[in-house]
Amino acid sequence: MATARTRRERTAEQITADDRAHVFHPWAAQDLIAPLAVAGAQGSYFWDHDANRYLDFSSGLVFTNLGYQHPAVVAAVQEQAARLATFAPGFAVEARSQAARLIAERTPGELNRILFTNGGAEAVENAVRLARLHTGRHKVLSAYRSYHGATGTAINLTGDPRRWPSDQGTAGAVRFWAPFPYRSPFHSDSAEQECERALQHLDDTLAFEGPSTIAALILETIPGTAGIMVPPAGYLAGVRELCDRHGIVFILDEVMTGFGRTGAWFAADHFGVVPDLLTFAKGVNSGYVPLGGVAISEEIAATFGRRPYPGGLTYSGHPLACAAAVATIEVMSAQDVVGRARRIGAEVIGPGLRALAERHPSVGEVRGLGAFWAVELVRDRASRDPLVPYNATGTAAAPMARFTSACRERGLWPFVHMNRTHVVPPCTVTEAEVKEGLAVLDEALAVTD
Ligand code: PLP
């Protein structure tokens, strides 16, 4: 009698067919993910069941700051699983207390109290709730061209109308334009003037809405999904000043930029700005087990010493996730992974991408910091017209599709979104790996030009 194949013996084709039949993939219609049966991963690479290996310039979804399967993190998770795999929040669990201390020691300023969640969107939900309860106000301001997650409030704060169809109309979400010198609504090529005009626009928005009705303003320190737009000098300090003037809670969303990604523990460190609340997830434990959270100022935390906070998630601060965070942060500290990301960005990735920009007319702009870069692809450099017109779904249209295929055929997994490819390898990526990836990008751009 023929025995049924075990799960591990199934072919890549069978795994993929099963997957498409039974897993609901949010992005399937957009062709953003390939039907690839992933078998394993290590460091900067992953491979499929057909033994194709890919250099991952997407870090998963920008979360493997320490690379895949770091032995110290794997060992920490295994050890924790054997000892105390899970326990309810509210109890003191060593891994949780230790993770909170290590995180608080690295956040800017005095953001010393950590509220744990299971990921980035939940962190944003809780930051907004903390701000509303603290101020007794309701409105929240967020920027166009931002991404804050896919849950109710978070998706409403996300400044991309294509993401709103199911959630239009949540009361209190107000959007404004943050600076983006490359394609600016303020029509300026001068970063200084851009900053000035953006702050004036924000001031006008506050005046129009009535500052005393606004609980919070949330910004990604460096917007990631929308294209790694490093803000001009002085902008975040200016926003901080406006928030202080009107008693508005300033939230920096560092879900993507936290934990070494930009060559600093947090991107806020580059700008010398301290928010009242800071959200994190992804890199906190290199994405091993879902974890996120909010780092809270002493002043806001004190509000809830006197009254209860209506929150509490069954799995938040999960011991396995926290053990992974402790191991990740300890390895990053011991090996100066943050400094390494800063250097590889300044010395290898940045210069390499700028050299590609000189050779390929389809590269409009290159920008970034650390292991966090975007390459803007254009049809026409002078007009800065996108290579592919924006459409409603973000479907990968030719020639972006040609670019993506050319990378994948050559063993590079790029993070392509709209008219950009993001170069976001693990912070541990080596110089040789970056050069391998840049060589593939060079060939793929030749197909795209
Ligand atoms: N905030 C930012 C800045 C993000 O980039 C993301 C995810 O990409 C989120 C929030 C949502 O995080 P999660 O997908 O873990 O809910």
Nearest atom of ligand 1 to the alpha carbon of 225:
5
Read off the amino acid at residue 332.
M
Counting ligand 1 atoms within 8 A of each CB, the residue from 256, 266, 278, 424 with the most, and so the one to mutate, is 256
Q: Residue 148: CB within 6 Å of ligand 1?
A: yes
Residues 78 and 221 in one domain: yes
Cα 149 to middle of ligand 1, angstroms: 5
Cα 7 to middle of ligand 1, angstroms: 32
Q: Give tens-digit pLDDT for 69-99.
A: 999 999 999 999 999 999 988 899 999 999 9
Residue 394's pLDDT band (cuts 50, 70, 90): low
CATH of the domain at 99: 3.40.640.10
Residues 311 and 428 in one domain: no
Residues 357 and 369 in one domain: yes
Counting ligand 1 atoms within 8 A of each CB, the residue from 255, 261, 316, 372 with the most, and so the one to mutate, is 255
Answer whether residue 1 is part of any domain: no
Nearest atom of ligand 1 to the alpha carbon of 290:
15
Nearest atom of ligand 1 to the alpha carbon of 282:
15
Q: Residue 255: CB within 6 Å of ligand 1?
A: yes
Q: Residue 256: CB within 6 Å of ligand 1?
A: yes
Answer whether residue 83 is part of any domain: yes
Q: Residue 119: CB within 6 Å of ligand 1?
A: yes
Torsions phi, psi for 109 (to 5 deg): 60, -140
User: What is the C-alpha separation between 104 and 95, in angstroms, rounded?
Assistant: 14
Among 145-149, 171-175, 349-353, which is the least confidently predicted range? 171-175
Among 273, 304, 334, where does a domain finish? 334
Contact 96, 116 (CB under 8 A): yes
Nearest atom of ligand 1 to the alpha carbon of 220:
3
Residues 184 and 285 in one domain: yes
Residue 214's pLDDT band (cuts 50, 70, 90): very high
pLDDT for position 1: 40
Q: Where are the beta strands (DSSP E) in 53-93?
A: 53-56
Strand partners, 422: 374, 415
Among 334, 366, 393, where does a domain finish? 334
Residues 284 and 342 in one domain: no
User: What is the C-alpha separation between 158 and 161, in angstroms, rounded?
Assistant: 8
For atom 12 of ligand 1, the residue with the nearest CA is: 120
For atom 5 of ligand 1, the residue with the nearest CA is: 256
Q: Residue 424: CB within 6 Å of ligand 1?
A: no
Residues 329 and 341 in one domain: no
Q: Residue 293: CB within 6 Å of ligand 1?
A: no
Neighbours of 313 (CB within 10 A): 15
Cα 220 to middle of ligand 1, angstroms: 10
Nearest CA among 44, 136, 23, 131 for reference residue 371: 44
CATH of the domain at 390: 3.90.1150.10
User: What is the C-alpha separation between 220 and 375, in angstroms, rounded?
Assistant: 19
Count: domains in the chain: 2
Q: Residue 225: CB within 6 Å of ligand 1?
A: yes
* Residue 302 lies in domain: 71-334
| Between 395 and 197, the higher pLDDT residue | 197
pLDDT at 2 over 50: no
* DSSP state letters, 184-228: -TT--S-HHHHHHHHHHHHHHHHHHH-GGGEEEEEEESS--TTT-
Which residue do the tokens 């301001």 mark? 141
Residues 190 and 205 in one domain: yes
Cα 64 to middle of ligand 1, angstroms: 14
Nearest CA among 298, 259, 242, 9 for reference residue 120: 259
Answer whether residue 238 is part of any domain: yes
pLDDT at 3 over 50: no
Q: Residue 120: CB within 6 Å of ligand 1?
A: yes
Per-residue tokens: 246: 């009107």
Answer whether residue 25 is part of any domain: yes
Strand partners, 249: 216
Answer whether residue 280 is part of any domain: yes
Cα 281 to middle of ligand 1, angstroms: 8
pLDDT for position 342: 98
Residues 177 and 275 in one domain: yes
Q: Residue 149: CB within 6 Å of ligand 1?
A: yes
Nearest atom of ligand 1 to the alpha carbon of 62:
8
pLDDT for position 402: 87
Q: Residue 252: CB within 6 Å of ligand 1?
A: no
> In the predicted model, what is the mean pLDDT of the chain?
92
Burial class for 143, CB neighbours closer than 10 Å (0-12, 13-18, 19+): buried
Residues 113 and 236 in one domain: yes
Contact 62, 261 (CB under 8 A): yes
Among 334, 358, 375, where does a domain finish? 334
Could you check whether the bond before residue 386 is cis, i.e. omega within 30 degrees of 0? no
Cα 225 to middle of ligand 1, angstroms: 9
Residues 91 and 162 in one domain: yes
pLDDT for position 397: 63
Residues 426 and 320 in one domain: no
> Helices 431-448 & 350-359, crossing angle to 10 degrees?
20
| Between 273 and 189, the higher pLDDT residue | 273
Q: Residue 121: CB within 6 Å of ligand 1?
A: yes
Torsions phi, psi for 417 (to 5 deg): -145, 125
pLDDT for position 373: 98
The separation between the first and the last C-alpha atoms of the chain, rounded to the nearest angstrom, is 57
pLDDT for position 200: 97
Segment 271-300 shows an average pLDDT of 97
User: What is the C-alpha separation between 264 and 346, in angstroms, rounded?
Assistant: 13
For atom 11 of ligand 1, the residue with the nearest CA is: 149
Answer whether residue 2 is part of any domain: no
Sheet holding 38-42, edge to edge: 38-42, 45-48, 53-56, 412-413
Residue 162's pLDDT band (cuts 50, 70, 90): confident
Report helix, strand or coil for 130.
Answer: helix
Residues 26 and 90 in one domain: no
Contact 129, 118 (CB under 8 A): no
